[in-house]
Amino acid sequence: MTTSEIHDRLKARFGDDIGVPPETKGEPWLPVKRERIVEVCRFLKETPGLDFDFCEDLTAVDWPKRNVIEVVIHLLSYQHKHALKLKVDTDRAAAEMPSLEGVWKTANWFEREVYDLFGVTFTGHPDLRRIMLPDDWVGFPLRKDYAEQGGWHGITNERENPLVELKRLDDVARAEQAKNAPPPPPPPAAPAPAAPPAAPSTPKA
Amino acid sequence: MEKLILRRIDRNNEEMVLNFGPQHPSTHGVINFIVETDGEVLKKAVPDVGYLHRSIEKIGEGTGYPGFMPFTDRVDYVAAMFPNEGYAIAVERLMKIEVPRRAQYLRAISCELARIASHLVSLGTMAMDIGAFTPMLHGIRERETINDLIEALCGARLTYNYHRIGGVAYDLPEGWKEKTLAFLDHFDKFLVEFDRLISFNEIYIRRLAHVAVITGKDAIDFGLVGPNLRGSGVDWDVRRDLPYGAYEDFDFEIPVGKGFRGEVGDCYDRYYCRVLEMGQSSKIVRQALLQIPEGEIMAAKVPRNMKPEAGEALSRVESARGEMAFYVVSDGTNKAYRVRARTGSFTAMGIIEKASAGLMIADLVALIASLDVVAPEIDR
């Protein structure tokens, strides 16, 4: 089934909560109202003929200009070999949407990742914790306005150029070498091989 | 840091919470499992990932389109050809670039060799986790030859960086075809030997058959992909079902788990699907080498400074660890607005909490090994 056929079926069932597929030359998608997303997804999964049994991907894109974080859901049906892309807009300031964990179990980890990196809260999620970053990390790195925190528990994320460090080590080693090196042999040592009888009288360096 | 404390919950029975990892040799990388056990039997094992998070997706927003290619190697460094290819295909879809046929063949050849290499590592280390050391050496020995071949092809042995947006970086070197065909002849014999050495070993079978069964329904629900999905009896392979590149031209079978020694979806099925897949990959490489057309290896007029129209593209490739999808969003500038890599290991980790309940600790090792997770691919 193509996206527009699926759109017609969804439209018949959910009315205006399904947006119009935007005019695009690329891959089509369907905008879905945030409040109905769980019902829509359950319908997509359970309706014969649609059978979207595989939640391929759930991720997000931050759009500060529109002031939304767009949650993008890729679905695939193993049976009919058709794919569908849904998009749900959430407000950037209070990013929140219902969890799809009850529909596809795989959404559990995907949602944790989106929560971790974008700060979207999934209501009804059984175990919404950070997944990649430490629990006490500040900020959501994949947001466009994320500012680095300058370190975490004394581990700095600023590092000087390794070449500078190498040069310093080199300089230290060279100074050390110069200090430990034997002092240059006194001038009388130079003619020593030329005059063997004089050798015993030469003071040892 | 509560999770770092080993503690007894109750003095009267044997319940414990302990850390399995992050530096455990059989976790295949830096992963921690917080394991709740009652004596030797697991209540559950909760994976704690993120130790190798390198924010590759964020890096993708900062480099230009071609500049991100070396980073994709690091998404899955055991089989780096697949993220290369996945990213290249996604950007090609954005840029509407048509890849020459010869380049597509070269991609298929390099990817299938990488698949064999990856499976050899996976199966060898799996046998080692179970307690058999020798198969690992056999696997690594064969992989070494593949590494040599790939090195001759693209100069790198691990992080290949071979595919380019619009084609591949280098054409076949002289004499490479013959060398590879000779290797494949040897490899087909090796597979028989490998089966005799380990796959049909009675002790090995008993360690894996009927262990950690994942039903097909669960496998789909938890988003397992690749050999893990097929091991559970679901007949799906992106190469055949949603063909990309040159795969339509090849004749190959998709091994599906059917309870080879135990029941459908146990560790042995996942293991043996991989063994059979190596044979099929060898078949594909052979066909590709014999049929490869002459021609260009890069599309004409691929700009250095890529500025795709605003839009987005999703690519799916069948990596060694199952379906890998790259989702690239462009806003019309020369840097990607968003790069997303969906990887097989990430979703495979999600099922461990469920699948591990009731296993013995030693069988948890078998489960992790049979899912073939690679830590950098989980964390990215």
Q: Taking the CA atoms of A111, A116, A122 and A127 in sequence, report the sign of the dihedral they define.
A: positive
Bridge partners, B251 (sequence order): none
| Nearest CB to A132 within list B50, B241, B312 | B50
Q: What is the pLDDT of residue A191?
A: 55
pLDDT tens, position by position, B306-346 = 888 888 888 999 988 888 899 998 888 888 898 998 888 88
Q: Average pLDDT for residues B42-67, to the nearest whole number? A: 86
Nearest CA in chain B to A85: B314
Q: Average pLDDT for residues B91-97, to the nearest whole number? A: 87
pLDDT tens, position by position, B220-277 = 888 888 888 888 888 888 888 888 888 888 888 888 888 888 788 888 888 899 999 9
Task: Please indicate if any CB of chain A lies within 8 Å of the CB of B243.
Answer: no
Q: Chain B: nearest CA to A163, how far in angstroms?
A: 22
Token reading at A117: 């990196």
Instruction: Give CA separation, B3 vs A124, B19, B33, B69, B362, in Å.
Output: 25, 7, 10, 37, 21
pLDDT tens, position by position, B152-163 = 988 888 888 888
Q: What's the predicted TM-score (pTM) here?
A: 0.83
pLDDT at B287 over 50: yes
User: Residue A165's pLDDT band (boundaries 50, 70, 90)?
Assistant: confident
**Count of alpha carbons within 13 Å of A9, Cβ hemisphere only?**
14
Q: Chain B: nearest CA to A131, how far in angstroms?
A: 6
Q: Chain B: nearest CA to A91, how far in angstroms?
A: 18
pLDDT tens, position by position, B230-241 = 888 888 888 888
Cβ contacts of residue B89 below 8 Å, gap of 6+? B244, B245, B315, B317, B326
Q: Chain B: nearest CA to A46, how far in angstroms?
A: 13
Q: What is the pLDDT of residue A139?
A: 82
**Is A56 in Cβ contact with B350 (below 8 Å)?**
no
Strand ranges, E, within B287-367: 311-319, 322-330, 336-342
Q: Average pLDDT for residues B136-154, to the nearest whole number? A: 90
Q: What is the pLDDT of residue A202?
A: 53
Which chain A residues in 52-111 lie under 8 Å from chain B, judged by CB atoms? 53-57, 59, 61-62, 72, 74, 78, 81, 85, 104-106, 108-110
Q: Average pLDDT for residues B36-50, to the nearest whole number? A: 83
Using an 8 Å CB-CB cutoff, list chain B residues near A25: 309, 311
> Rg of chain B over CA atoms, in angstroms?
21
Say how far apart CA A145 and CA A131 lie, in whole Å: 21
Q: What crossing angle do the helices spanning A37-46 and A3-14 adopt, rounded to 10°? A: 120
Q: Which of A64-68, A96-100, A160-164 has the lowest mean pLDDT?
A: A160-164
Using an 8 Å CB-CB cutoff, list chain B residues near A155: none
Q: What crossing angle do the helices spanning B267-291 and B361-371 adopt, rounded to 10°? A: 20
pLDDT tens, position by position, B353-375 = 888 888 888 888 888 888 888 88
pLDDT tens, position by position, A109-126 = 899 889 988 888 888 888
| Nearest CB to A78 within list B220, B312, B325 | B220
pLDDT at B294 over 90: no
Q: What is the pLDDT of residue A186?
A: 73
Task: Please indicate if any CB of chain A lies within 8 Å of the CB of B346.
Answer: yes
Q: What is the pLDDT of residue B1?
A: 43
Say how far apart CA B297 and CA B101 lie, in whole Å: 8
| Percent of chain B topping pLDDT 90 | 7
What is the average pLDDT score of chain B? Answer: 85
| Percent of chain A topping pLDDT 90 | 4
Using an 8 Å CB-CB cutoff, list chain B residues near A110: 347
Nearest CA in chain B to A78: B236
Residue with the larger pLDDT of the pair B120 and A194: B120
Q: How far apart are the first and last CA of chain B?
A: 24
Task: Please indicate if any CB of chain A lies within 8 Å of the CB of B340.
Answer: yes
pLDDT at B53 over 60: yes
Q: What is the pLDDT of residue B3?
A: 52
Q: Report which of B201, B80, B202 is spatially closest to residue B138, judged by C-alpha positions.
A: B201
Q: What crossing angle do the helices spanning B176-194 and B267-291 adopt, rounded to 10°? A: 160
**Is A132 in Cβ contact with B49 (below 8 Å)?**
yes
| Nearest CB to A108 within list B50, B340, B350 | B350
User: Residue B116's pLDDT band (boundaries 50, 70, 90)?
Assistant: very high
